[in-house]
């Protein structure tokens, strides 16, 4: 059987650190096991264009493994060419780089390692909220420059205590973010999600659901985005929605870059409508060198907490999603049923309720 994996290069780091499992070099720890069973494993980071390893090998691969950190974009056109493909496995969480509607039409399953990096991301969200609200990055940059002017930092630094913090999406990550924010004594925690939290879960974090998105954002000092990217969330945070934000709100997006309109966010930051924007996800990845989010700033020259896509690929997370990919493969190879929570697309239908209301 031919198994194709599109992963990111680790280069020297992957040679020195074997726990960087999700790299081309370390192959999710699958190589010896798959080879011992006589399978062919092709691993590459080369994913763009018709001559890429990805596009050349997708035509006869039976299993495709991809990762959201270096997404192999599986378009409908590539599905049409992928004559042997049976299953797509996402090493991580978030399969929007696969055309899921095309997967339904082609009866190709799509699975994720659900839950594998949700704590990793929730911790990054809390860190990102804090670094924006407390104006941390300009403060650190000042120190590296050799300067010292406390008032230039303090004029835009606040406490998280007594702020209203809201999450768009209160699934595994969104809920864990809410749990981790409780000890900061926010004024209120609120959420926007078509799936209400179970009453006991909402009560445990004292989160209030707001059903109208504009009303929701207008109440938040901090908005964090934690929903999947699908037809209903692409470009959700645009000029119009940003105009309903509180002036000077902070926005954190570790969900997917394309949920936020990049130019609208940069404009809102430049005008001071947003005091800060932070996250690790970009549309597309790797982000082009001239992507507007690399250098976008608020009127005081700060408010940018952008990093490359790594919140969900800590070494702890890599161990979990590498194990998860292996167990999905074991189930597939032995004909055992898959864990229901990992199935995004089953044979010809959406099994998850998280990728939009259908
Ligand atoms: P989940 O399935 O547990 O939760 C997603 C929640 O979003 C669900 O409650 C769903 O009802 C809600 N939702 C869907 N569409 C919505 C909409 N239009 N408005 C409001 N809520 C909506 O998923 P999760 O594990 O919490 O992960 C969420 C997303 O985070 C993933 O799909 C992925 O895109 C992203 N993610 C990023 C990283 C990273 O490294 N940056 C890592 C893991 C996941």
173 lines ligand 1 (CB under 6 A): yes
Supply the ipTM of this predicted assembly. Answer: 0.99
233 lines ligand 1 (CB under 6 A): yes
Task: Note the pLDDT of residue 358.
Answer: 87
Alpha helices in the chain (DSSP H): 11-16, 31-36, 53-57, 76-81, 100-105, 118-133, 136-145, 150-154, 172-181, 199-205, 213-219, 239-243, 262-271, 315-334
Structure-block tokens of residue 351: 């099994």
Cα 183 to averaged position of ligand 1 atoms, centre (Å): 23
Query: Which residue's alpha carbon is at the smallest distance from atom 32 of ligand 1?
Result: 228
Query: Which residue's alpha carbon is at the smallest distance from atom 1 of ligand 1?
Result: 171
206-231 as b/e, with b when 16 or more CB fall inside 10 Å? Answer: ebeebeeeeebbebbbbbbbbbbbbe
317 lines ligand 1 (CB under 6 A): no
- Residue 288 CB contacts under 8 Å (≥ 6 apart), including other chains: none
Q: How far apart are CA 102 and CA 113, in angstroms?
A: 21
Does residue 285 have an active-site annotation?
A: yes
Nearest to 57 by CA among 28, 33, 81: 81
225 lines ligand 1 (CB under 6 A): no
Structure-block tokens of residue 257: 């870059």
**CA 351 distance to own-chain centroid:** 20
Q: How far apart are CA 154 and CA 225, in angstroms?
A: 27
Which stretches in the chain have pLDDT values below 70?
none
Task: Note the pLDDT of residue 293.
Answer: 98
Q: How does pLDDT run across 97-123, given as a tens digit for each residue?
A: 999 999 999 999 999 999 999 999 999
Peptide bond into 200 cis (omega under 30): no
Supply the pTM of this predicted model: 0.98
Nearest to 111 by CA among 355, 358, 343, 357: 343
94 lines ligand 1 (CB under 6 A): yes
Counting ligand 1 atoms within 8 A of each CB, the residue from 226, 257, 258, 312 with the most, and so the one to mutate, is 226
160 lines ligand 1 (CB under 6 A): no
- Residue 338 CB contacts under 8 Å (≥ 6 apart), including other chains: 109, 111, 328, 331, 332
Counting ligand 1 atoms within 8 A of each CB, the residue from 66, 92, 93 with the most, and so the one to mutate, is 93
Query: Which residue's alpha carbon is at the smallest distance from atom 41 of ligand 1?
Result: 254
121 lines ligand 1 (CB under 6 A): yes
Structure-block tokens of residue 195: 């799936």
Q: How does pLDDT run across 256-296, given as a tens digit for each residue?
A: 999 999 999 999 999 999 999 999 999 999 999 999 999 99
Q: How far apart are CA 196 and CA 3, in angstroms?
A: 39
Distances (CA, A) of 301 to 35, 141, 253, 260, 347: 53, 11, 20, 21, 50
- Burial class for 60, CB neighbours closer than 10 Å (0-12, 13-18, 19+): middle
Does residue 309 have an active-site annotation?
A: yes
Q: Number of H helices and number of E strands within the chain?
A: 14, 14
Task: Note the pLDDT of residue 237.
Answer: 99
Does residue 294 have an active-site annotation?
A: no
Query: Which residue's alpha carbon is at the smallest distance from atom 38 of ligand 1?
Result: 312
Query: Which residue's alpha carbon is at the smallest distance from atom 6 of ligand 1?
Result: 171
At 6, phi and psi to the nearest 5? Answer: -110, 110
What residues does 207 pair with on adjacent strands?
Answer: 189
Residue position matching structure tokens 């990728």: 355
Peptide bond into 284 cis (omega under 30): yes
- Burial class for 21, CB neighbours closer than 10 Å (0-12, 13-18, 19+): buried
């Amino acid at each position: 059987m031919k198994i194709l994996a599109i992963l990111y290069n680790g280069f020297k780091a992957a040679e020195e650190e074997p726990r960087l499992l999700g790299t081309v070099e370390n192959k999710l720890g699958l190589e010896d096991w798959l080879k011992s069973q006589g399978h062919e494993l092709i691993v590459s980071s080369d994913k763009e264009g018709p001559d890429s390893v990805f596009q050349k090998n997708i035509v006869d691969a039976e299993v495709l493994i991809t990762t959201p950190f270096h997404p192999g974009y599986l378009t409908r056109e590539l599905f049409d060419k992928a004559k042997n493909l049976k299953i797509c496995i996402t090493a991580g969480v978030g399969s929007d780089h696969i055309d899921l509607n095309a997967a339904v039409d082609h009866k190709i399953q799509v699975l994720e390692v659900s839950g594998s990096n949700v704590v990793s991301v929730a911790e990054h969200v809390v860190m990102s909220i804090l670094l924006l609200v407390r104006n941390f990055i300009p403060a650190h940059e000042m120190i590296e420059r050799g300067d010292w002017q406390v008032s230039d930092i303090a004029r835009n630094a606040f406490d998280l205590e007594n702020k209203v913090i809201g999450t768009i999406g209160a699934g595994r990550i969104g809920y864990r973010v809410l749990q981790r924010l409780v000890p900061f004594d926010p004024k209120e925690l609120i959420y926007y999600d078509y799936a209400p939290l179970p009453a006991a879960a909402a009560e445990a974090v004292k989160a209030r659901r707001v059903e109208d998105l504009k009303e929701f954002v207008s109440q938040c000092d901090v908005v964090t985005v934690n929903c999947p990217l699908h037809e209903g969330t692409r470009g959700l945070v645009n000029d119009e929605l940003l105009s309903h934000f509180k002036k000077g709100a902070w926005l954190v997006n570790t969900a997917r870059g394309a949920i936020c309109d990049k130019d609208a966010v940069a404009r809102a930051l430049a005008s001071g409508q947003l005091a800060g924007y932070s996250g690790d996800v970009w549309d597309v990845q790797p982000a082009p060198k001239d992507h507007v989010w690399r250098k976008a700033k608020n009127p005081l020259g700060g408010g940018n907490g952008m990093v490359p896509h790594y919140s969900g690929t800590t070494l702890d997370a890599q161990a979990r999603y590498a194990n998860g990919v292996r167990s999905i493969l074991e189930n597939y190879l032995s004909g055992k049923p898959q864990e229901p929570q990992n199935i995004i697309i089953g044979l010809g239908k959406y099994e998850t309720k998280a990728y939009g209301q259908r």
